[in-house]
Amino acid sequence: MTKLATIEYSNRRKDLMQQLPRGAVVIIQCAPVYIRNGDVEHDYRQDSSFYYLSGMVEPHTTLVLVNGPEGCSSNIFCRSKDKLQEIWHGRRLGVDAAPHTLMIDNAYTSETLEAQLIELLDGASQVVFGFSRENTAELVQQSLSKLRGLARQGKISPTQVVDLDPLVDAMRLLKSAAEIDQMALASNISVVAHKRAMSVCKVGMNEFQLAAEVHHQFSVQGSQRLAYGSIVAGGDNACILHYTNNDQVLQDGDLVLIDAGCELDHYASDITRTFPVNGRFSEAQKTIYELVLSAHTAALACIKPGAVFADMQNAAVEVITQGLIDIGLLTGELDKNIADQSYRKFYMHNIGHWLGMDVHDVGIYKFNGESRPLIQGMVTTVEPGIYIDPDDVSIAPEWRGIGVRIEDNILVTKDGYRNLTEYLPVTVADIETLMAG
Ligand code: GLY
Ligand code: MN
Ligand code: MN
């Protein structure tokens, strides 16, 4: 499994603690284990921020970082080695190996968490944890009440609570060189998988068979899981933005929209391509496709440090709206259609989102109501689309049910951008050539 160097996690912990005052104690817990049905568990996927700070994939784990008088100490509470449990359920890192493997100062067994936390919080100035994490909030609440109850024994409980997530979110939003390499690898895997889908697609295949080709290619290249549920939408299913049924037969003369991305060591990719099931775009499909592609190109052209999301969205909206006027799907002046947002009947979502460990990654989009400027090291998607209601009889039949989205993964660089998914064909000619081959 491709993995970042352990020092990367250690440096993140140091960076985080440098932002906090002396006496701060950070508590972050792993993702819970969820039951699927009966005694079957959902596949376990570590919480992104917990993994970001620990590099630890196992459940039942808590990380506690302390800005103490002698500097920062890191403490992990994890499952103990247990031969019987490991025979049944899989290997465990264990308390003895955890410090060296994770570059963490101290490791304790999870069962001691509540008792140890009282000691670690005694005399702390503030407790820093994710306010939206219910389990941790409950743990902190209980620990603080116990600590206050021990005042006569000389224990001192912290008086401030601080939300951890905005701090970690801001760190996660800016990708390091190692993270960028990882995201480029994830993007490459997804590019190859989308190419495979274009190559093998045939009239009469089911959407789930095409999905299986994509997923197979993800797995054979080392991806551990999907970054999100794949969308493989033939014909007018493409007009359902979050279509995931993926169970219809692909028809001659239809387009198929695939929105699928692999995850690699907890980093996501997120690609959409739309192509003709039979390998050749019809005139109407080509018109809409090239309009979306022009909007995509216009949005990309805005990307550089200092630009804002609204620049990309406005550029795409202008191209799409003018194009829809030109072909008669909207009427009247460009400015009026933009002002009254009539384009939203066909393009009803935003231009993109942050991409990272989560497909819709963390990080705020606005400061004081203003769109936040891009800076080097951010990764965003660019994904304009046009979706024409199949049931709208006011629209000429040749357009109805066409749904097109084009989505790439874009790194903001020092003076522009790098398209991490640029090697996936995107023009009509390149797609038709690949499919003919
Ligand atoms: N695949 C989810 C999205 O494109 O936002
Ligand atoms: Mn996306
Ligand atoms: Mn997507």
- Same domain? For 126 and 223 the reply is no
Mutate to test the pocket of ligand 1, among 359, 405, 421 (most ligand atoms within 8 A of CB): 359
C-alpha separations of 50 from 126, 130, 379, 403, 432 in Å? 19, 11, 20, 38, 44
For the sheet containing 417-419, what is the strand order? Answer: 379-382, 408-412, 417-419
Q: Are 305 and 376 in contact (CB under 8 A)?
A: yes
Alpha-carbon torsion, ordered 355, 358, 364, 365, to 10 deg: 40
State which of 228, 349, 405, 421 you would mutate to test the pocket of ligand 1, scoring each by most atoms of that ligand within 8 A of its C-beta.
228
Which pTM does this prediction carry?
0.97
Give distance in angstroms: CA of 271 to centre of ligand 1: 8
Encode pLDDT of 243-260 as tens digits: 999 999 999 999 999 999
- Give the residue from 172, 194, 219 where a domain finishes: 172
Alpha helices (H) in 112-176, listed in sequence order:
113-121, 134-149, 165-173
Whether residue 217 contacts residue 190, with contact meaning beta carbons closer than 8 Å, is answered with no
Same domain for 167 and 222: no
Pick the last residue of a domain from 172, 197, 219. 172
Q: What is the pLDDT of residue 1?
A: 42
CA–CA separation, 373 and 386 (whole Å): 26
Q: Are residues 83 and 207 in the same domain?
A: no
Cα of 142 vs centre of ligand 3, distance in Å, is 41
Ligand nearest 382 Cα, by number?
2
Query: Are the beta carbons of 61 and 54 closer than 8 angstroms?
Result: yes
Say whether both 295 and 345 belong to one domain: yes
Distance 5 CA to ligand 3 centre (A): 28
Q: Select from 41, 358, 353, 361 the least CA-distant residue to 228.
A: 358
| Tokens (6 digits) for 382 | 């660019």
Residue nearest to atom 5 of ligand 1 (CA): 360
Q: Whose CA is nearest to atom 3 of ligand 1?
A: 270
Domain boundary among 150, 172, 194: 172
Residue 102 host element (H or E): helix 98-102
pLDDT of residue 3: 85
pLDDT at 2: 54
Please name which of 383, 327, 319 lies closest in space to residue 353, comparing C-alpha atoms: 383
Mean pLDDT per block of 10 residues along the chain (437 residues) reads 86 98 98 97 98 98 95 96 97 98 98 97 97 96 96 95 98 98 98 98 98 98 98 98 97 98 98 98 98 98 97 98 98 98 98 98 93 96 98 97 98 98 98 97
Q: What's the rounded Cα separation, in Å, for the pair 412 and 330?
A: 34
What would the pLDDT profile of 11-39 be if each residue is shown by its tens digit?
A: 999 999 999 999 999 999 999 999 999 99
The number of the ligand nearest the C-alpha atom of 273 reads: 3
Tell me how many domains the chain contains: 2
Instruction: Indicate whether 128 and 79 sit together in one domain.
Output: yes
Atom number, ligand 1, closest to the C-alpha of residue 407:
4
Helices and strands, counts by H and E, the chain: 13, 21
- Nearest ligand 1 atom to alpha carbon 261: 1
What value does the CA radius of gyration of the chain take, rounded to a whole number of Å?
A: 25
Atom in ligand 1 nearest the alpha carbon of residue 272: 4
CATH code, 114: 3.40.350.10
Residues 215 and 341 in one domain: yes
Same domain membership, residue 111 and residue 244: no
Measured from the Cα of 227, ligand 1's closest atom is 1
* Residue 289 belongs to domain with CATH number: 3.90.230.10
Cα(403) to centroid of ligand 3, in Å? 14
Nearest CA owner, ligand 1 atom 4 = 270
Asked if residue 211 and residue 167 are part of one domain, the reply reads no
- The CA 259 to ligand 3 mean position distance, Å, reads 5
Question: 434: CA distance to ligand 3 center in Å?
Answer: 22
Dmax of the chain from CA atoms?
82
Q: How far is the CA of 350 from the centre of ligand 2 (A)?
A: 10
Which residues have CB under 6 Å of ligand 1?
Answer: 228, 259, 270, 353, 359, 383, 407
Which residue among 269, 383, 406, 409 has the greatest number of ligand 1 atoms within 8 angstroms of its CB, and so is best to mutate?
A: 383
Q: Are the CB atoms for 66 and 73 separated by under 8 Å? A: yes
What's the gap in Å between 228 CA and the centre of ligand 2? 10
pLDDT value at residue 236 = 98
Q: Which residues are found with C-beta within 5 Å of the ion, ligand 2?
A: 270, 381
**Which of 194, 272, 350, 406 to probe ligand 1 with, by most ligand atoms within 8 A of CB?**
272
pLDDT of residue 120: 96
**Which residues are the active-site residues?**
39, 242, 259, 270, 349, 353, 360, 383, 387, 405, 407
Q: Which atom of ligand 1 is nearest to the CA of 383?
A: 4
160-163 vs 126-129, strand pairing mode: parallel
pLDDT of residue 44: 97
Check whether residue 354 and residue 401 sit in a common domain.
yes
Output the pLDDT for position 70. 86
- Are 201 and 229 within one domain? yes
197 and 119 inside one domain: no
> pLDDT tens digit string along 82-104?
999 999 999 999 999 999 999 99
Q: Are 337 and 325 in contact (CB under 8 A)?
A: yes
φ, ψ (nearest 5 deg) of residue 20: -115, 155
Range of the domain at 141: 3-172
**Domain identity same for 214 and 242:** yes
